[in-house]
Amino acid sequence: METLPLTETVLFILLSLSGQPRHGYSILKDVEKMSDGRVVLSTGTLYGALRRLLDDDWIERFEEQDTSRGRQAYRLTPQGRQNLQLEVSRMKHLTRLATLRAAKQEV
């Protein structure tokens, strides 16, 4: 079960799906691109995370209609999107707090 705060892997996967539905390969490449090559997921890690997110109803799986191969794709559910927003808010708060504290120490 996924709980907040999210792991970096899960956060990147959710961010990747926040813009548009994607299939497995596309998620792998997008995560690599978003993290400037720092996070490179193996297929085992990716599908383990996807399975957990599917179980928790944070994402859903569907068959892509516009491709001849009928690949499986993934998209965020409203619950997944809400949890992603919660995590982003939590991180924003943390960043604001850290910036304030660090600024105080410099003075």
Partner 1 sequence: MLRLYRSLLYLYPPIFRRQFGTEMLAVFRGVQAETTEHGIIPQGVLYVRETAGLLVGALQEHLRAVGAVRAFLPSPTRRFAMHAEFRFPKITAVLMTLILGGIILAIEKARMIQASYSQGAPLVPLETARLTFFPTVALLLVIFYAAGLVGWAVLFALRRTGVHRLADMSAQQK
Q: Which two tokens stand for residue 102?
A: 């660090």
Contact call for residue 5 and partner 1 (CB under 8 A): no
Answer for which of 40, 91, 94, 100 binds partner 1 (CB under 8 A) is 40
| Cβ closest to partner 1, residue 15 vs residue 41 | 41
Length of the chain: 107
State the helix-helix crossing angle for 43-55 and 24-34, rounded to 10 degrees: 110
User: Interface with partner 1 includes 9 (CB under 8 A)?
Assistant: no
- Determine if 67 is a binding residue for partner 1 (CB under 8 A): no
Looking at the Cβ atoms of 9 and 18, the one nearer to partner 1 is 9
Shorter beta-carbon distance to partner 1: residue 68 or 105: 68
The SS3 assignment for 75 reads: strand
Asked whether 80 and 14 are in contact (CB, 8 A), the reply is yes
Stretch that binds partner 1, among 3-11, 20-28, 76-84, 85-93 (CB under 8 A): 20-28
By CB atoms closer than 10 A (0-12, 13-18, 19+), residue 97 is exposed
Nearer to partner 1 (CB atom), residue 5 or residue 48: 48
